Chains A and B, each alone.
Chain A
Amino acid sequence: MLKCNNINVKNILCDVSFEVKRGSFTSIIGKNGSGKTTLANCIASQRKYGGSISLGNTSMLDISPCDRARIMAYLPQSLPSPNISVYDLVTLGRSPHTSLGAKLNKSDIESIDNALAVTGMTMLSNRMVPSLSGGEKQRAFLAMTLAQNTDILLLDEPTAHMDMHVAAEFTELLNRLGKTLIVIMHDLSLAIKYADNVLILDSGKQIFFGSKKDLLVTDTIEKNFNVRKIENDGEIIFTV
């Protein structure tokens, strides 16, 4: 579905190539400064890069910003706290589907209500965004991207400011969405638990891309992140 071929960004990324299949969960992991966010910005067409990123047979750069917004939603790592209600925030997710000055129609309202329900934010829809906790804010923004009704969700460290329990719940929620997910994650255990495919970056270079199964038969993670792998009730946990 989404194919990245030899992505290069001077001094940051070097020949990164991978393919994302429809409906799959791809985790991108790597140490700080390994180029994860730069790669996400390239995929979202928000910075210049060498190589190609294509969707089917079409280059992402040939797709207009509005059409791109109907295909892929991108949520960056640091989220703002606009002084608007959660409902108004989620409403903004319909922007690529509404023309200038037009009112929201029935299908827009349905998408918004559905996004709020799926993320468990219906009860909080009248709350102002700055009054939300870190986890609630992340869910509110996820609801906004879900209202965008795209096939692909590209998320940059969505669980960065959450405690372990909330992060696990949030990742479980992402997994249930049934969308094509490309998620940059810092929690190795969660990244591996839910991923179909894993991309590992180190200093801008791709050191692994493949299925979770293929990754776990190697000691790539242990070597690169200096962690130990522990199996607990069939669940794999990485610990220092």
Chain B
Amino acid sequence: MKKLIIIFTPLLCISIILGCAFGSADIMQLIGNDTDTALIIILNLRLPRVIAAVLCGIGLSVSGVLLQCVTGNTLAAPNIIGVNSGAGFCCIVMLTFFPKASVLLQIGAFAGAFITTLVIVGIASHINAFRGTVILAGIAITAVLNACISFLSLLDSDVLTAYNAFSVGGLAGIRMSQLYVPAIIITGCLLCSLILSRRIQLLCLGDAIAASLGVSISKLRIACIILASASAAAVVSFAGLLGFVGLVVPHMARRISGERTSKLLITSSMIGAILVILADLFGRIILAPTEIPVGIIMALIGAPFFFILLFKRRGDNAEM
């Protein structure tokens, strides 16, 4: 564990420095000529954005690790169990019916994501067949919510435009005040996950062995899903529907640190944070001054990377 922290902490620090130093404005030139403007850009624009990227990386990665452990399926991710569609649905409802209450958009997205997860957990618990059921219930609910989103977006083209920006996922214009509550939720979820990590590890051994080792399986699964959902919902509330981080990062971390849950959580958080900072930075500088939202960059990096992982797994005995 110490080795991983020693390796990844400097990389994270370098990423944060790069994220603050580069963008459409040339900070190095400004520091020489106009230090005050340079400080304003760094402290008010770039630092909040880099912190938001770190929170996105940690929140979505922790969520992905938890969901993959709980469902025993390495394809599980926050968007698959319905967190994203729940947030998206609430968001479009707010945009359609309360267009002036944009302040409430963040709270609405969080509530939507969280309530959808509770509904899915409720369905899975009621059926009493948890592992695959959570994913199947998530797919079914996602389909229904996406249909509702499409219908509402047909009613008003302004709503559709606003929703598109939310659905792609991005960190442009983020303010520090938007990050306090998500930061508390994401940090809390990470700490709770680390405390539960040895119990979560038991779930990876299968239900029979986990139960034999004294784990109350259904309670632990529900606790993990709530943590995963809260963590992802906190990210969705300020960054929109950012995809691929929760799916790809746990796979990358697993290759580096193995499957020990505590190590996996730490490694995933570090890799997730670094990846989102760099993806956001890339989106800012590649077509500067035009910005490409981080959600698009993550999909462009994430999808091919995921294919590479899948091809590397060919011949392995690992189950998908």
Where the two chains meet, the residues of A that have a C-beta atom closer than 8 Å to any C-beta of B are 41, 44-46, 65-70, 72-76, 78-85, 88, 92-93, 95-96, 98, 100-101, 128, 130, 141, 145, 148
**Complex-state Cα separation, A218 to B213, whole angstroms:** 39
Q: Give Cα A196 to B206, complex, Å.
A: 31
B201 near A96 with CB under 8 A, answer no
Please name all residues of chain A whose beta carbon is closer than 8 Å to the beta carbon of B317 when the two chains form the complex.
81, 130
Report which of B194, B202, B205, B206 forms a contact with A101, defined as CB distance below 8 A: B194
The 22 sampled A-B contact pairs (Cβ below 8 Å) are: A46-B211, A65-B216, A67-B214, A69-B214, A72-B212, A73-B212, A74-B208, A74-B209, A76-B209, A78-B206, A82-B259, A83-B318, A84-B201, A88-B260, A92-B201, A92-B202, A92-B213, A93-B213, A95-B198, A96-B214, A100-B198, A130-B317
Contact check, B196 vs A66: say whether CB atoms are below 8 A apart: no
Q: Are A148 and B213 in contact (CB under 8 A)?
A: yes
Shortest CB-to-CB span from B249 to chain A, Å, is: 17
Partner of A84, one of B194, B260, B318: B260
Residue numbers in B under 8 Å from A66 (CB-CB): 214
Residues of A within 8 Å of B318, CB to CB, are 83
Q: Give every chain B residue within 8 A of A65 (Cβ-Cβ).
A: 211, 214-216
CB proximity to A under 8 Å, residues B230-253:
none
Closest B residue to A97 by beta carbon equals B214
Given the contacts A44-B211, A100-B196, A83 and B258 also touching, CB distance less than 8 Å:
yes
- Please indicate the chain B residues that have their CB under 8 angstroms from the CB of A72 in the complex: 212
Q: In the assembled complex, how far is the CB of residue B245 from the closest CB belonging to chain A, in whole angstroms? A: 22
Contact of B199 with A by CB under 8 A: yes
Q: How far is the CB of A238 from chain B (nearest CB, A)?
A: 29
Q: Determine the distance from Cα of A46 to Cα of B214 in the docked complex, in whole angstroms.
A: 11
Say whether B213 contacts A95, CB under 8 Å: yes
* Of B199, B201, B211, B254, the contact of A100 (CB 8 Å cutoff): B199
By Cβ-Cβ distance, the 8 closest A-B pairs, closest first, are: A69-B214, A74-B212, A96-B214, A66-B214, A101-B195, A76-B208, A83-B259, A95-B213
Q: Closest residue to B208 on the A side, CB-wise?
A: A76
For A96, give its contact among B207, B213, B259 (CB under 8 Å): B213
- Whether a CB of chain A sits under 8 angstroms from the CB of B107 is no
Cα A95 to Cα B199 in complex, Å, equals 7
Min CB gap A59→B, angstroms: 17
**Cβ < 8 Å to A, chain B residues 188-229:** 194-196, 198-199, 201-202, 204-209, 211-216
Q: Hey, which bits of chain B sit against chain A, CB under 8 A? A: 194-196, 198-199, 201-202, 204-209, 211-216, 254, 258-260, 317-318
| Cα-based distance from A70 to B213 in the complex (angstroms) | 8
Pair A95/B254 contact, Cβ less than 8 Å: no
Assembled-state Cα–Cα distance A145/B216 (Å): 18
Cβ-defined contact, A46 with B259, below 8 A: no
In the complex, what's the smallest C-beta–C-beta distance from A210 to chain B, in angstroms? Answer: 28
Partner of B258, one of A70, A96, A98, A128: A128
Q: Is the CB of B204 within 8 A of A82?
A: yes
How far, in Å, is A67 (CB) from chain B's closest CB?
Answer: 8
* Complex Cα–Cα for A101 and B201 (A): 13
Is the pair B198, A44 in contact by a Cβ cutoff of 8 Å? no
Contacts of A98 in B (CB 8 A): 198
Bound Cα distance A46, B217 (Å): 11
- Given A92-B198, A92-B202, do A69 and B260 touch, yes or no (CB 8 Å)? no
Report the minimum CB–CB distance from B146 to chain A (whole Å): 34
Which of A46, A128, A130 is B208 in contact with, Cβ under 8 Å? Answer: A46
- Report the separation of the CA atoms of residues A175 and B270 in the bound assembly, to the nearest whole angstrom: 47
| Min C-beta distance of B295 to chain A, whole Å | 30
Query: Interface centre among A83, A85, A128, A130, by most B CB within 10 Å?
Result: A83
CA distance A188 to B194 in the complex (A): 46
For residue B268, give the distance in angstroms from its CB to the closest CB of chain A. Answer: 15
Q: Kindly name the residue among A75, A80, A96, A148 whose own CB sees the greatest number of chain B CB atoms within 10 A.
A: A80
Question: Cβ of B214: which chain A residues have Cβ within 8 Å of it?
Answer: 65-70, 95-96
Q: Known A-B contacts: A65-B211, A83-B259, A95-B215. Give 16 more (CB < 8 A).
A: A44-B208, A44-B211, A46-B211, A69-B213, A69-B214, A74-B212, A83-B254, A84-B201, A85-B258, A88-B260, A92-B202, A95-B213, A96-B214, A100-B198, A101-B196, A130-B317
Bound form: Cα–Cα A44–B318 in Å: 28
Closest residue of B by beta carbon distance from A150: B212
Q: Which residue of A lies closest to B214 (CB)?
A: A69
Q: B197 — nearest CB in chain A belongs to which residue?
A: A101
Q: How far is the CB of A222 from chain B (nearest CB, A)?
A: 33
The CA of A91 and the CA of B179, in the complex, are separated in Å by 38
Bound CA span A68–B213, Å: 8
Instruction: Closest B residue to A67 by CB, please name it.
Output: B214
The minimal Cβ–Cβ distance linking B306 to chain A, given in whole angstroms, is: 19
Specify the chain B residue showing the minimal Cβ separation from A70: B214
Task: Tell me which residues across on chain A come within 8 A of B211, comparing CB atoms.
Answer: 44-46, 65, 74
Minimum CB–CB distance for A82 against chain B, Å: 5
- Nearest to A130 among chain B residues (CB) is B317
Residues of B near A84 (CB, < 8 A) are 201, 258-260
